[in-house]
Amino acid sequence: MSTPNVIRIGLCGFGTVGQGVWKHLAGARRALESRLGAGIEVHRIAVRNPRKARAVRLPAGRITTDALAVAADPKIHIVCELMGGTSLAREVTLTALRHGKIVVSANKALICDHGAEIFATARRHGGHFLFEASVAGGIPIIKALREGLVANRFPRIYGILNGTCNYILTQMEEQDAPYASVLDEAKRLGYAEADEALDVEGWDAAHKASILAWLAHGVWVKPRQMVVEGITRITPADFKNAAMLGYGIKLLAVITRDLDSNELSVRVHPTLLPEGSVVANVSGVFNAVSVTGDVVGTTLYIGRGAGQDATASAVISDIADAAALLVHGKGSHLTAAETLPARNGCRLAPPEHIKCRYYVRLTVKDQPGVLARVASVMARHHISIASVIQTPGEDDRAASLVLTTHESHERAMNATLRDVARLASVIGEPVLLRIGDFND
């Protein structure tokens, strides 16, 4: 591969992230060029609507509506896929890789759905695929796993991977406000999308957890293979109950691997964390990832997990690595698919092997014997009650019954909730939260 005097970049997508990359790349250009020993130029930009008003003014000659032409352009060395979605984004990514280019992407859904195909294509045609911006925004968690912690196996990775949910939960706790009103405020401030489902139902975090699980363990785990639960049923009362028990509530992605049995579990759900935990005190739109390695122990990464500047920072970091590879031949270990961890017989843990303690909130009829009936169902499934909190319900004829359990497992807990919900004295669907005693 000849060394280019000018590294030409194609941007496919020029929304919030694309404009942030343009802005900050211009600001860092001289320093990057000095470090790399080559020029850097944004050669072409693919947009859906060239007439759309944008905060950034672009030379008309660089704009196109044909993203595939950018991906195939022989003058372009690095293609930044910043469009979102998984259809055209997949075509653009594969086209660029088939031409032996380096692709930089922030698209977690694309990687989760098509990662195996993308990396196989890169390997087959000599291309490279970099994706630091796809998980946790400006936190360099992917480089930490692939480079700094390469000597480790990872029995546990967990953290806050969705800033929208973390903002909503923080505001609910601090303002003692219901979910719906905080969500409306988050939309007004731009922290939540108009269609918030991908975030608040846990799917965005699940896409990111899939990527981390693959990086750490070499296994593609699809969201449908995970426990995925969102935050929509959490109420201010849950924060008060959690505080009485010494906990806060966060939406966590949790990736655990039993190194003895070689079983892996990946899950996303609201979790009670001890109030003294560092992750429990990460608030607002910030993300946090705790990584436990068998050699290094536990390391913790905290920073902005989304937004124009944080994501652009991660994209430009990958652009710099890609440029170093083109100019100096350095950094190929960052992108070579064959260096990623092999599956090594790792398999998904069945529900009965996924264990923790649980928090259960029930709305029940305010009458004698209800607790005894609930306890009987739990005992039938071999679940032991650790504590009970009973408070008045919103209705004079109802009460709120909160139970925490000793350690059990997902299969037993799901069967218990199914049977508890059938009791005539239980009103509505039980609310289940996991308790995260991670001891970090």
| DSSP state for residue 102 in the 8-state scheme | E
Query: Do 125 and 207 fall into the same domain?
Result: no
What is the model's pTM? 0.91
160 and 130 co-located in one domain? no
Asked whether residue 440 is assigned to any structural domain, the reply reads no
CATH number at residue 259: 3.30.360.10
Strand order across the beta sheet in which 39-46 lies? 63-64, 39-46, 6-12, 78-81, 102-105, 128-130
Report if residue 345 sits inside a domain.
no
274 and 201 co-located in one domain? yes
What CATH number did the domain enclosing 12 receive? 3.40.50.720
Name 432's Cβ contacts closer than 8 Å, sequence gap at least 6. 229, 358, 359, 360, 413, 417
26 lies in some domain: yes
Known active-site residue 75: no
Question: Tokens representing 225?
Answer: 């293979």
What pLDDT is attached to residue 337?
44
Give start and end residues of each alpha helix (H) in 358-436: 370-380, 410-421
CATH number, residue 384: 3.30.70.260
Residue 163 has what pLDDT?
A: 93
Same domain assignment for residues 126 and 98:
yes
Domain-embedded: residue 399: yes
Angle (nearest 5°) at CA 296 between 293 and 302? 75
Residue/partner pairs of 275-279 with CB below 8 Å, 24 or more apart: 275/243, 275/246, 275/247, 275/248, 277/248, 277/438, 277/440, 278/302, 278/440, 279/158, 279/159, 279/160, 279/250, 279/252, 279/440
Residues of the chain with pLDDT under 50: 1, 332-338
With CA atoms as reference, report the closest residue to 162 among 253, 82, 239. 253
Residues 121 and 194 in one domain: no
Judgement on whether residues 131 and 146 belong to the same structural domain of the protein = no
Nearest by Cα to 357 from 285, 409, 415: 409
C-alpha count within 13 angstroms, C-beta hemisphere, residue 203: 9
Question: Which tens digits make up the pLDDT trace of 369-413?
Answer: 999 999 999 999 999 999 999 988 777 789 999 999 999 999 999
Do residues 146 and 291 share a domain?
Answer: yes
Residues 375 and 416 in one domain: yes
Choice among 208, 222, 240, 330 that is catalytic: 208
Query: Are both 298 and 318 inside the same structural domain?
Result: no
Q: What is the pLDDT of residue 338?
A: 44
- Name the 3-class secondary structure at 9: strand
* 130 and 253 housed in the same domain: no
Q: Same domain, yes or no, for 333 and 362?
A: no
Look at residue 346 and tell me if it is in a domain: no
Q: Tokens for 150?
A: 């390469």
CA 30/CA 9 separation, integer angstroms = 16
Question: Is 244 in the same domain as 374?
Answer: no
Domain that includes residue 239, residue range: 142-303
Work out how many domains the chain is built from and give that number.
Answer: 3
* Average of per-residue pLDDT values in the chain: 91
Cβ-based burial of 105 (10 A; exposed 0-12, middle 13-18, buried ≥19): buried
